[in-house]
Amino acid sequence: MNLPSYSPGLHKLVTLHVDDAQKLTNSKGFVAITDSILEKFNLEKVGVIVHDFDNDSFTISFCLKESHICIHTWPEYNQLTLDVYLCNYQQDNSQKVRQVMAEYITYFEGAIIKDFEINR
């Protein structure tokens, strides 16, 4: 079998400072923006889990055919952590990962505190 070389994908993790704490307590808003991002970038949702905490922070995990998107918010610190990983044995999705993350940074009007990229 003659397969192309395989690179599982790019895993991007950021911590953002967000001035608008309402975006850090609006899990429905995050689900809506994620659904539009998935459509824009032709990504396939397999499932989603949403957990709203007592202080209105949230944790959400989108399971994708291509891997996952996860967020955890801390409105009391005006921060969030966001994790985007897309893998595909047929193409390099690195640029798509960066574009998806840029969409979220724009949505949250976030300032990057930490930014990591892991080539898997």
Q: Is 67 a catalytic residue?
A: yes
**Both ends of the chain: CA-CA distance in Å?**
23
Q: Which of 11, 27, 57, 72 is catalytic?
A: 72
Q: Is 5 a catalytic residue?
A: no
Q: 100 Cβ partners below 8 Å, 6+ apart?
A: 37, 41, 43, 69, 84, 86
Q: Which of 11, 27, 57, 67 is catalytic?
A: 67
**Cα–chain-centroid distance for residue 75?**
17
Q: Is 11 a catalytic residue?
A: no
Q: Which residues carry out catalysis?
A: 67, 72, 87
